[in-house]
Structure 1
Amino acid sequence: MQITNLSKNLGDFSLRDISLRIEEGEYFIIVGPTGAGKTILLETIAGIYSPDTGSIEIAGEDISRIDPKERGVAMVYQDYMLFPHLTVEENIGFGLKQRKTDPQSIHEEVTKAAEMLHIEHLLDRYPGTLSGGEQQRAAIARAIITRPRLLLLDEPLSALDASTRERLRSELQTLHRELKTTILHITHHFEDIYSLADRVAIMENGRVVQTGTPEEIFQHPASGFVAAFTGMENIFPGQSLSVEGEMQIDLGPGTIRADTGIEGDVYVGIRPEDVVLSRETVSGGAVNTFTGTITEIRQNGMFSRVMVDTGIRFICALTPQYILRMGLAEGDTVSLTLPESAIHIFPREGDLTSWHCSHSGCGKKCGKCAAKSQNNLHGLL
């Protein structure tokens, strides 16, 4: 699929000049903060909205302005959107019935799809009697039964509990491997990226600001916004300048050395897991080393967050076992080292908090920024 210079103005919100290439059979994930335009982009691809400018092509065919039913696109929403008055079997077979497929063929295809998603024992049930995970499996089965050229998933796992989300994530992985369908999936869960994505795009304020493999996105963010959004919690403003042929960044309370060609106002970023913490006092001449006091240790699953005040407030991610072995406690004096290879430098452009939606009370799908039309939804089922 090729999206070229796609724009859509919805009044309070606009998609702006989006260009993306998604390879056939690729599992492509889009992430971004609430109100970034992820769902609006999917709905424009699906045909719920018509683009103001730009084009959408699938297999070389421009589908930008053809009827949703003719696009070969299916969409699954977070909230399932099953028909409550139809059985699971009737829901799954709905798209084929719309195409006037013969009843025997519909039954056979429904059975195959249900078996793939392990819900064949639920075909006589109604959606209201199912769990969230079972309803989402039925919604996905309804989408794949039409054998779409492109499957759009709008946060399909977000409404599920953690264990159900993990099981369904594994089933999506298997489904993609078996069907080889091109999938475009938007999510708020980074676990989805690690488990499913071939490539990722980050959206901010209606634009795509970076694309790449998961490793490229997380290890080489292209901007301070991407770094902050993907969990690089240590981000500080500074001044970068060349001193005797070396680039140094003045952070105010301290200075670091970094391999960068960027001068002037910058952000300095380092991931919590890349900060090296030690009880040993490091000599004052050591590169990128600070001495500070542990102000807080907070348990957080597999890793604990250790806050250290060096005049600059650093966040470190350490295993509980390491904390116990080192005997670390709040109030202890420690040394921090920032490996030069783990330091990221970005031009200082804008406020890193500006990506949050400005509308008070904005819901998860940002109803004010991205009010969705329900017209033509039947064309995606």
Structure 2
Amino acid sequence: MLQITNVSKDMGEFFLDSVSLEVLDGEYLVIIGPTGAGKTILLETVAGIYEPDSGEIRLDGREITDAPPKDRKICMVYQDYMLFPHLTVEENIGFGLKSKKVPKEEIAEAVRKYATMLNIAHLLHRYPGTLSGGEQQRAAIARAMVMSPRALLLDEPLSALDAKTREILRRELKSLHALTKTTVIHITHNFEEVFDLADRVAIMNQGRIVQIGMPDEIFRRPKDRFVADFVGATNVFRGVSSVDDGIAVIAIDGPQIRAHSAEEGEVYVSVRPEDILISTEPLASPVRNSFPGTIREIVHVGAVVRLTVDAGAEFIVALTRQGFEETGLSVGDPVFIAFKATAAHVFPGGNA
């Protein structure tokens, strides 16, 4: 539905470098990346606030690269609401429709529809200054949605809210998307929003999209060291891989890890902490990776317990609190860790 092809824009500190992206009709795409990666300028270029230096943007097959924002049927919502303080909530939400000379009855119906969806129908008579942050953001989203946009662009819409309000509004966004099927592109730094909302997630760095895929794929199978570090991957080891009969043997500083991969030479290999089994006895099940070790540290993180095991290299193992209590393990205990070759993800080692 939305096609971005080789779009570049240089604004000095912020820039886009040949960004290409396709967004499907009705998709909820979340974009993450470090500050300065180009996320906001990408959305603003799609919205028509900036004209790209090169490249092409198409919406429903129609080129909109040079089209003014008002002709794009794309609406953008920022984290700071940008409501008109002298207008009521009802007038704010209906502002865009009024400027398009839509009949009053239609405006009132559309305003009531989206205010109800976002649970602010009882606030239509109020002014923005009397609302909480969450209520103001609901009004800003409703103001965009009454325009029936082909794409809704959200620039960190929940980041200025407290944790409880973020959780509630996240659920409301999910419900709104399910009801309207509007195509959404949402920038965030919050991984909970990625897993709760995204059909796909794109990661940006230095003006480029460096990986795109399903949320679980991005977090479990990062394509390079930057992505692995950004999504907080643990148990990332650098080594040298040799492949025999479809199985890569990666010599790291310590044990050798076996994985299903065709990558050879210098590589990284990562294993999710929750994919590693831990026991006081060697595991009877046939797994390709099984190492003896010693528990060096135990850290309680909410409902999860993370154990650092020295098995030649240091592995982080994650257990539920109940699972940990059942093991009775302590620092200094000898243990065995094991994980399948399919749990080891190998990616090129070019990015140190």
- Mapped to 2, the partners of 1:115 and 1:299 lie a distance apart of 42
Q: CA deviation at 1:287?
A: 3.9
Aligned residue type for 2:330 = A
SS in structure 2 of the partner of residue 156 of structure 1: coil
Counterpart residue number, 1:343: 344
- Does structure 1 conserve the Cα–Cα contact (< 8 Å) formed by 2:57 and 2:63? yes
Change (3 A) 1:244 1:19: closer
SS in structure 1 of the partner of residue 228 of structure 2: helix
Counterpart residue number, 2:214: 213
Counterpart residue number, 2:201: 200
Change (3 A) 1:98 1:269: same
- Does structure 2 conserve the Cα–Cα contact (< 8 Å) formed by 1:278 and 1:336? yes
Counterpart residue number, 1:190: 191
Equivalenced residue count is 350
Counterpart residue number, 2:330: 329
Counterpart residue number, 1:54: 55
What TM-score, normalized by structure 2, do the two folds share?
0.93
Counterpart residue number, 1:289: 290
- Does structure 2 conserve the Cα–Cα contact (< 8 Å) formed by 1:240 and 1:250? yes
Q: CA deviation at 1:281?
A: 4.4
Counterpart residue number, 1:70: 71
Counterpart residue number, 1:270: 271
Counterpart residue number, 1:306: 307
Counterpart residue number, 2:42: 41
**Residue 181 (structure 1) aligned with residue 182 (structure 2):** yes
Work out the percentage of aligned pairs sharing the same amino acid: 56
> Structure 2: where are the runs of 5+ without partners?
none
- Does structure 2 conserve the Cα–Cα contact (< 8 Å) formed by 1:4 and 1:20? yes
Q: CA deviation at 1:322?
A: 0.9
- Mapped to 1, the partners of 2:159 and 2:305 lie a distance apart of 25
**Residue 149 (structure 1) aligned with residue 150 (structure 2):** yes
- Mapped to 1, the partners of 2:36 and 2:274 lie a distance apart of 29
Deviation track 1:110-155 (CA, whole Å, cap 9, x = no partner) reads 2222111110111121222211211111110011011111100111
Q: CA deviation at 1:7?
A: 0.9
- Does structure 1 conserve the Cα–Cα contact (< 8 Å) formed by 2:151 and 2:182? yes
Q: CA deviation at 1:209?
A: 1.6
Change (3 A) 1:210 1:332: same
Change (3 A) 1:246 1:317: closer
- Does structure 1 conserve the Cα–Cα contact (< 8 Å) formed by 2:30 and 2:188? yes
- Mapped to 2, the partners of 1:76 and 1:91 lie a distance apart of 13
Q: CA deviation at 1:277?
A: 1.2
Counterpart residue number, 2:161: 160
What TM-score, normalized by structure 1, do the two folds share?
0.86
Q: CA deviation at 1:286?
A: 7.7
- Mapped to 2, the partners of 1:36 and 1:139 lie a distance apart of 25
Q: CA deviation at 1:324?
A: 0.6
- Does structure 2 conserve the Cα–Cα contact (< 8 Å) formed by 1:119 and 1:138? yes
More strand by share: 2
- Mapped to 2, the partners of 1:238 and 1:7 lie a distance apart of 36
**Residue 86 (structure 1) aligned with residue 66 (structure 2):** no
Q: CA deviation at 1:78?
A: 1.4
Deviation track 1:179-210 (CA, whole Å, cap 9, x = no partner) reads 22111111222222222222221212211122
SS in structure 2 of the partner of residue 210 of structure 1: strand
- Mapped to 2, the partners of 1:13 and 1:35 lie a distance apart of 6
**Greater relative contact order (Cα < 8 A, sep 6+):** 1
Between 286-295 and 268-277, the greater mean CA deviation after superposition: 286-295
Change (3 A) 1:257 1:108: closer
Deviation track 1:283-332 (CA, whole Å, cap 9, x = no partner) reads 9x984222222222222222222222223121111101111110122222
SS in structure 2 of the partner of residue 277 of structure 1: strand
Q: Which runs of 4+ in 1 moved over 4 A?
A: 242-246
- Mapped to 1, the partners of 2:187 and 2:287 lie a distance apart of 44
Change (3 A) 1:324 1:49: same
- Does structure 1 conserve the Cα–Cα contact (< 8 Å) formed by 2:26 and 2:182? yes
- Does structure 1 conserve the Cα–Cα contact (< 8 Å) formed by 2:85 and 2:128? yes
- Mapped to 2, the partners of 1:324 and 1:249 lie a distance apart of 33
- Does structure 2 conserve the Cα–Cα contact (< 8 Å) formed by 1:231 and 1:271? no
SS in structure 2 of the partner of residue 100 of structure 1: coil
- Mapped to 2, the partners of 1:243 and 1:349 lie a distance apart of 22
1:64-143 superposed matches below 5 A:
64-143=65-144
- Mapped to 2, the partners of 1:233 and 1:252 lie a distance apart of 16
Aligned residue type for 2:342 = S
Deviation track 1:38-82 (CA, whole Å, cap 9, x = no partner) reads 111101101111111111111111111111111111111112122
Q: CA deviation at 1:274?
A: 0.8
Deviation track 1:265-288 (CA, whole Å, cap 9, x = no partner) reads 1111111111111111469x9842
Change (3 A) 1:167 1:248: same
> Structure 1: where are the runs of 5+ without partners?
352-381
- Mapped to 2, the partners of 1:157 and 1:246 lie a distance apart of 44
Aligned residue type for 2:222 = P
Deviation track 1:160-186 (CA, whole Å, cap 9, x = no partner) reads 223222221221122112222111111
- Does structure 1 conserve the Cα–Cα contact (< 8 Å) formed by 2:30 and 2:200? yes
SS in structure 2 of the partner of residue 232 of structure 1: coil
Deviation track 1:80-101 (CA, whole Å, cap 9, x = no partner) reads 1222222211211121122233
